[in-house]
Structure 1
Amino acid sequence: MPKLLFSKIRFYEIKDIMQNVKRPKRIDIVLNRYKRKKDIECIMVNKTNNETCPARFSWQTDHKLHPTLEKLLLDKIYLAAFHSFLQSEFSEENIEFWLACEDYRATTSPDELCCKAKEIYEEFIQPAACREINVDHHIREKIKKSLEKPSLSCFNEAQKHVYLLMERDSCPRFLHSDAYLSVKHKSRTLWYI
């Protein structure tokens, strides 16, 4: 039997069989590599979705390192940087309206409430105002009606709307901007001094 394996007849039979086998072309090899790469990426995605995977843990900790909009608004340094960032994007009226509403809520005198409410309405909410904010028509009408007898909560709905706009749109861009990174770097270096 071993002689049959290495005989010339057997060798030529194998050679003839090999000619009938379809050999992959170069493009097939490349496509197979691409397919295998996609399979590996799918496996990696499945691994990152597991609770125990270190990649998921590092992403969560990295995500928690960025402050929320609420924390940015409470810190004076970050608030100033965020304000200047919004000025560079020509949307500073949002943060100024939010700050005006916070100041309005801190007002205790009824006379001052009326004056401040009218000022806020004329500056930010009235159609064609100098720093008009982007709020719904229904919110504008509610505020206009509440100006007859303003309460501390008359701007709450508009303030919440503007806050959500900043949280979803402006804040993520700010967290990836050079302004935020420089303030973050300065705060770290000041901590060491």
Structure 2
Amino acid sequence: MPKLLFSKIRFNEIKDLIQNVKRPRRIDIVLNGRRQKKDIQPRTVENINDETYPSKVSWQTDDKLHPTMETLLHDKKYLAAFRSFLQSEFSEENIDFWLACEDFRWTTSQEDLRWKAEGLYQEFIQPSACREINVDHHIRERIKKSLEKPSHSCFDEAQKHVYLLMERDSCPRFLQSDAYLSLKHKSKSLWYI
């Protein structure tokens, strides 16, 4: 026999409370809804520009500001800490691929472009590569076709995919890691030097 959640006395008390509640009639709901819609005025660009808002930085404290993925990749101390964090997670091939693609873009000679592209493909893209990155089959095939006549943009799609993977997955974990927190603490404590 199932257990009763409420005793009969408790049920009667609740039933009495429900009967005493004034319920709005359907017509009242409709009329109030129409009245409220008339009172709402759309905000225009002029209205928004007239108001003064605090700047983003003024209301955020230093503790809430975290570096973006761009900052991690372009600041040497953050990059070193992020790379060592990725090594600890066995996914440093992502940052190495991204940095290799950045180096590849600055290649000027067509001969250098060809052998660098082949080296990037063999090291990071090719199935069963020693440091294979996580990209889908379609990206692999497009890169393989582009190796016949390599250009500066043949790895762009894969680089963007790896960047987004690091930004969405690795970067948030890094910002919560001990490596980042100690780096942040160290930079705060050395302000007087």
Structure 1: where are the runs of 5+ without partners? 1-21, 24-56
Deviations 1:88-115 (A, max 9, x none): 0000000000000000001111111001
Structure 1 residues 20-39: aligned runs within 5 Å:
none
Question: Which residue does 2:23 correspond to in 1?
Answer: none
Residue 74 of structure 1 corresponds to 74
Higher Rg of the two aligned structures: 1
CA shift for structure 1 position 58: 9.8
Cα distance in 1, alignment partners of residues 190 and 116 from structure 2: 38
Q: 1:188 to 1:61 in 2, by over 3 A?
A: closer
| TM-score, length basis structure 2 | 0.68
Give, in angstroms, the shift of residue 174 of structure 1.
0.1
Count of equivalent residues: 140
Partner residue in 2 for 1:53: none
Q: Which residue of 2 aligns with 1:7?
A: none
| Mapping for residues 17-96 of structure 1, pairs under 5 Å | 61=61, 65-96=65-96
Moved beyond 6 Å, runs of 4+ = none
- What runs of 5+ residues in structure 2 fail to find an aligned partner? 1-8, 11-56
TM-score of the superposition, structure 1-length normalised?
A: 0.68
Q: How large is the Cα RMSD of the aligned pairs? A: 2.2
Counterpart residue identity of residue 147, structure 2: L
Cα shift at 1:183: 1.0
Q: How has the CA–CA distance of structure 1 residues 59 and 128 changed in structure 2, closer, same or farther, with 3 Å as cutoff? A: farther
The aligned amino acid for 1:132 is E
- The Cα offsets for residues 98-152 of structure 1, whole Å up to 9 and x where unpaired, read as 0000000011111110010000000000000000000010000000000011000
1:133-144 to structure 2, matched below 5 A, reads 133-144=133-144
Match of 2:102 in 1: 102
Residue 163 of structure 1: aligned partner: 163
Determine helix, strand or coil for the equivalent of 2:191. Answer: helix
